[in-house]
Structure 1
Amino acid sequence: MRATLSVAIATLLTAATIGAPADAAQRETRIPDKAIATAAQLRETALASDLGYRITESLTTEVGPRLAGSEADARAVAWAVAKLKELGFDKVWTEPVTFPKWERRSESAQVVGRNMQPLHLTALGGSPAGTVEAEVVRFADLAALEAAAPGSLAGKIAFIDYKMERARDGSGYGPGSRVRSRGPSAAIRAGASAYLMRSAGTDSHRNPHTGITRFDEGLTPIPSAALAVPDAEQLRRLLERGPVKVRLALDCGWDGTYTSQNVVGEIRGSKKPEEVVLIGGHLDSWDLGTGAIDDGAGVGLTMAAAKLIGDLKQHPARTIRVVAFSNEEQGLHGGKAYAAKYADQVVRHQIAAESDFGAGRIYAYSSSAPEHAKAADAQIAKVLEPLGIAYTPGQGGPGPDVGPSAQNGVAWARLAQDGTDYFDLHHTPDDTFDKIDPQALAQNVAAYAVFAYLAASADGDFGSQPASPPTGTK
């Protein structure tokens, strides 16, 4: 999950919408009364169903952690294909996604010297292997490290001790994730031999948070890791007492390339099967937990929502397409591959929505609907309202894997989940199935089923139009 990317994409798309010429002749999009009535019944059916919960349990139990490029990645793909077929989807297939393969083998750290003790940490995705024993220099935030003079940390370990703030919408993740993505390069420029950070998380447990990092072009990567929050605080207290030396040992790194798959399933439309409403989540996870909230729940709830639509006596006009995206965690590889493959089919995508922010209750709905589709958008919101979902037009942006398609011009919707506790678990060993509330997940299934069914039943479109140039083209 990358909240910062969603915000950036939303900003770009809003600017593009403002700058687009108005189409006064565009016919207003509306949803028929019959479809509204069916959606209300569908909502109640979904609320009473535990299907999304059972699918998520299946994935996290039978496959477990699903690090992109691992043996479990292939098993997850096979699981998703089999599950979609078992659920009775009309069409199921896979699409290749190739990316660099990163492996984690072992990791450890300890304070050495007078206050010798272990530290709980985890390598950041993309870190190279290496063993470094050196004095630690603490920085309060990313800006402080970026301001360090070149060479000033020669032979030292840089440590950013930034505390991420808790927020229902996940807005605290932006600054926290930048510490992870930009901190190592700043440390290298200052001459550091290794990099440590306080985990980008809001918990107080001894569970470090992993996540991908990047090294700027031309820099030689250094071992980079995240400390569990209590261990970061312990290191800070030790530093307040005087110089501290830490020994850091990471065995990890890149190992060639790997080809995984986006897994796609469809409930075919009754009148316009060539047009699709896209929903989904990402199939991969980090390797520390079992990827329940990130993003087993997203896969499970969207599969369930589409299955419940498929169980209706009359399918909606358009096709419901579920995509289990490959390798979101290390660079949106599945989302980018999908956007490139369907760059010439933007208009066939009625609208797209992705669940990748845990399994908390959905509290708000918004979309990129242009003026001619606002009435239909409000109709969707009205049917979502009994689920405790507020209509918040003009807010939010597309999910991370949907983002590249949105940049191509595909209309998007946001079903905002309550992420107050999300970053207590995100990218940690604690991201496990027992953390999911079945009632909250059923509410998510109901919301996605209502949204997808009504969008697929609308008379008119939600504004998907090709951008120029589309993502993935030259």
Structure 2
Amino acid sequence: MFPEFSGKPNQICGVFFFSFLILTARIQAQTQDKDVLFIRSIYDQVLRSGTSYSWLEHISEKIGGRIAGSPQSEQAISFTHTMLDSIGCDTVWNLPCQVKYWYRGSKRETFSLVSHPDLGNQSFKVLALGGSGASAPKGATGEIIEFKSLDEAKTRNKEIPGKIVYFSRAFDQKHLRTFHAYGGAVDQRVFGPNLASKYGATACVIRSMGSRIDPWPHTGVTIFEDSVKRIPAVALSTQDAEILSKLIQKGPVKAKVKTYCEDRGLKPSFSVIGEIRGSEFPEEIILVGGHLDSWDVGGGAHDDGAGCVQAMEVLHTMIKMNYKPKRTIRCVLFMNEENGLAGGLSYAKWSNENKEFHLAAIESDAGGFTPLGFNFDADSSMVKSYAQALGKWSELLESYDLKISKGGSGADIGPLKSQKGLLVGLSPDSQRYFEYHHTEADRIQAVHPRELSLGTAAMASLIYLIDQYGLQ
């Protein structure tokens, strides 16, 4: 029988309440211990026997640059589909999308001075911007006029006709986060050539969106309105941009630009999807992904082969650890992020039509460097509650040097915001990212296998916590 207790009723309640608190604390401690051990096992698994680097080597070096619509993009679709199938996903499929296929040309674009008094006809290495038009066979020739901003070009627009417009604003180096510096300069590349063409320029040259002075030109998308002529538009390395600006300061500089670009119209393509079906709440989806396309130069290793293989490795790790998720964990490798976002838009449309709900979507599209944490976003009505849910895991994640902050998530998962789930972007160290971004140097050698694996483990850990506990 139970021992006799002679205390007053309120004393009896106090004893039971105190016992309940002790029991609750023990359960919470045991749960936390379980999470600590499982996350440690995720890191052990990924760091000891991850396969993401070998996948990335194939994508970057065997396939190479894979602009949407190209034969290389088709090879990447086939390879990643096969790999997701081979690791044991419950389902693997390709989701159709229509992409605009821009082709750089069969000959290399050129930029050269014309009869300069000191340098003669010296040429500089350039890359045509994605969306650039082709020059006439003899090239586009004119005196170079330099602007630091789009507003300056608008103010001085009467000086532009018949000239080559040169936008030369550099990264603002005072920014601690290089993505902020990029955001402060990239309008020149995206909108500068269109503006130059409107005012009668023969061609447009852009200082590359790079964070250091080096010899690598950076390509990237530029957008022309349908009614505006697609003039030749090229990017000059930061090193050569410095030289060109100094030449212009000394006197008039004439140059010639040759490009061979083609707009090859719409082509059918695919995003690649693999998933592990949830055992308790299969209708709640946790997405992890990156974009499978890249620019057609280099190997697209950091941008965004790294994000793709990390996403694939998350599922591979869960399967190898015999983890049975409560919720559906889905890997999506989006097509056409670089110059159209067709994959992200078509995926969101398809998902909404099927009345799906993404509890969370995590994107890796900031390089394969050491992860520093996560940025999260959501519909404004959900931000506070998601911040509180994520805050419960801050101490656990901080033991792996991971912090969670409010911020941007990712271009491809952005269209899912209407579902009111949590949107997350992996945030790696970005200090070296814009040395490689959209250049020929973005190859496997630029990616450290350990840093790549740490990004995988970080995402797998957050996915595990969301899968176990939801976001309440």
TM-score (norm 2): 0.86
| Bigger CA radius of gyration | 2
Which residue in 2 is equivalent to 1:271?
280
For 1:103-118, what aligned pairs fall within 5 Å after superposition?
103-105=103-105, 106=107, 107-113=109-115, 114=117, 115=119, 116-118=121-123
Shift of 1:254: 0.5
Encode CA deviations 1:360-387: one digit per residue, 9 max, x unaligned: 1121334346444444312343332222
- Aligned partner of 1:18 in structure 2 is none
Q: Which amino acid aligns with 1:159?
A: Y
1:315 and 1:194 map into 2 onto residues whose CA distance is 57
1:161 and 2:174 correspond = no
Gaps of 5+ in 1: 1-30, 463-474
Is the Cα contact below 8 Å between 1:55 and 1:304 reproduced in 2?
no
- What secondary structure sits across from 1:69 in the alignment? coil
| Cα distance between partner residues in 1 of 2:383 and 2:207 | 42
Query: Given residue 315 of structure 1, which amino acid in structure 2 is its aligned partner?
Result: K
Q: Secondary structure at the match of 1:251?
A: coil
> What letter corresponds to residue 42 of structure 2 in structure 1?
L
1:78 paired with 2:78, answer yes
Which of 438, 441, 444 aligns to 1:427? It is: 438
Q: Which moved more, 1:421-430 or 1:404-413?
A: 404-413
CA spacing shift, 1:147–1:49, aligned 2, 3 Å: farther
State yes or no: 1:51 paired with 2:51. yes
Q: Which of 166, 185, 189 is equivalent to 1:180? A: 189
Alignment partner for residue 140 of structure 1, among 135, 139, 148? 148
Alpha-carbon offset, residue 309 of structure 1: 1.2
Partner of residue 385, structure 1: 398
Which stretch has the larger CA shift, 214-223 or 447-456? 214-223
Q: 1:332-371 residue pairs with structure 2 within 5 A?
A: 332-344=341-353, 348-368=357-377, 370-371=383-384
Aligned to 1:400: 411
- Judged with a 3 Å threshold, the aligned counterparts in structure 2 of structure 1 residues 195 and 371 are, in CA distance, closer, same or farther, namely closer
Match of 2:129 among 120, 124, 130: 124
Answer whether contact 2:178 2:211 (CA < 8 A) is retained: no
Mapped contact 2:278–2:327 kept (Cα < 8 A): yes
2: distance between equivalents of 1:172 and 1:382?
A: 30
Equivalent residues, number: 428
Cα distance in structure 2, aligned partners of 1:247 and 1:91: 53
Letter in 1 for 2:450: Q
Ranges in structure 2 where 5+ consecutive residues have no aligned partner: 1-29
Q: Tell me how large the CA RMSD over aligned residues is.
A: 2.0
Query: Aligned equivalents of 2:422 and 2:355: distance in 1?
Result: 9
Deviation at 1:95?
0.6
| SS class of match (2:185) | helix
Shift of 1:451: 1.1
Aligned 8 A contact 1:276 1:456 in 2 = no
* Structure 1 stretch displaced more, 158-167 or 103-112: 158-167
8 Å CA contact 2:291–2:308 kept in 1: the answer is yes
Q: Structure 1 stretch 111-120 or stretch 163-172: which is displaced more?
A: 163-172
The percent of aligned pairs where both chains have the same amino acid is 34
Instruction: Indicate how the Cα distance of structure 1 residues 461 and 205 shifts in structure 2: closer, same or farther if over 3 A, else same.
Output: same
Aligned partner of 1:109: which letter?
F
Deviations 1:93-128 (A, max 9, x none): 001110221100131111010322001111110011
Deviations 1:270-309 (A, max 9, x none): 2222321000100011111000000010011111112111
2:286, 2:329 within 8 Å by CA — same for their partners in 1? Answer: yes
Deviations 1:294-328 (A, max 9, x none): 00100111111121112233412011100010011
Corresponding position of 2:19: none
Higher relative CO (CA 8 A, sep ≥ 6), structure 1 or 2?
1
Q: Distance in 2 between matches of 1:370 and 1:243?
A: 54
Matches within 5 A, 1:8-47: 33=32, 34-35=34-35, 37-47=37-47
What is the rounded CA distance, in whole Å, between the counterparts of 2:110 and 2:92 in structure 1? 43
Pairing 1:213–2:222 present? yes
| Cα pair distance change 1:59/1:427, threshold 3 Å | same
What is the SS of the residue equivalent to 1:334?
A: helix
Identify which range, 186-195 or 402-411, moves more after superposition.
402-411
Instruction: Give the match's secondary structure for 1:288.
Output: coil
Q: 1:376 to 1:169 in 2, by over 3 A?
A: farther
Q: CA deviation at 1:234?
A: 1.6
Structure 1 residue 217: Cα displacement: 4.2
Secondary structure of 1:305's match?
helix
| Cα deviation 1:384-435 (Å, max 9, x = unaligned) | 222211233xx21221111111245332123211111111110000000001
Task: Say if 1:267 and 1:307, in contact at 8 Å, map to a contact too.
Answer: no
Distance 1:237 1:136 in 2: 12
CA contact (8 A) 1:358 1:419 kept: yes
| TM-score with structure 1 setting the length | 0.86
